[in-house]
Amino acid sequence: MQADSEEKNYLLDSQYFTNIGGEEVQKGKINASVQIVKKTGVFDFSFKFEGHVVVPCDRCLDDMDYPLETTAHLIVKFGKDYSEESDEIIVIPESEGVINLAWFLYEFIVLAIPIKHVHTPGKCNKQMSAKLKKHTTKSDNDDDSFDMDAPDDIVVTDEDPIEETIDPRWDALKGLKEEL
């Protein structure tokens, strides 16, 4: 079995993300390097990604640059019908003999982005942070809540006052929370 190797480089810019039409990432600039090793009936792809993507901050919803550096691996085999044997192995029909890597590139990038993404302290939108702080409650055992004492903490103003009236029927439920 003789192996033949080839390397391709792609610049995945904002136009790429717009064309791919994915929801998670719509802007960015990633240099993608693809090492392709061709064997009889099998293509072994090794991907390397470096650059940044633009994602919304989970705290203030403003766009933020997220630096990205990751690798991925994909094995493509020829077969009768298209199938995904595992996360890293797919089979494409031999009659087609073509694979479009565009969507795979996008999926590898999205999988490298953490579920939670927030600005570094002090970089969040000040107005949105103020509203979040005003409407966020923190319980004693809530480990993953918004930290009001974090360095990006700001002074809350009364620009959007809300009078809070609580239905007296809810008072009976307060005792249940304390018992838990």
> CA angle at residue 97 from 93 to 103, to 5 degrees?
85
**Distance between CA atoms of residues 6 and 96, nearest Å:** 21
% of the chain residues with pLDDT over 90? 37
Same domain? 174 vs 147: yes
pTM metric for this prediction = 0.68
Same domain? 98 vs 71: yes
List, for residues 75-110, the tens digit of each pLDDT value.
Answer: 999 888 888 888 888 988 888 777 888 999 999 999
- Assess if residue 23 is contained within a domain: yes
**In this predicted structure, what is the pLDDT of residue 156?**
45
Residue of 50, 37, 31, 43 whose CA lies nearest to 7: 37
Looking at residue 89, its amino acid is I
- Assess if residue 120 is contained within a domain: no
Q: What are phi and psi of 46, to 5 degrees?
A: -115, 125
Domain limits for position 165: 126-179
The number of domains in the chain is: 2
Same domain? 86 vs 21: yes
Task: Give residue 14's pLDDT band: very low, low, confident or very high (50, 70, 90).
Answer: very high
**Distance between CA atoms of residues 138 and 4, nearest Å:** 59
Q: Are 44 and 36 in contact (CB under 8 A)?
A: yes
63: which strand partners? 56
47: which strand partners? 34, 72
Same domain? 46 vs 21: yes
pLDDT at 28 over 60: yes
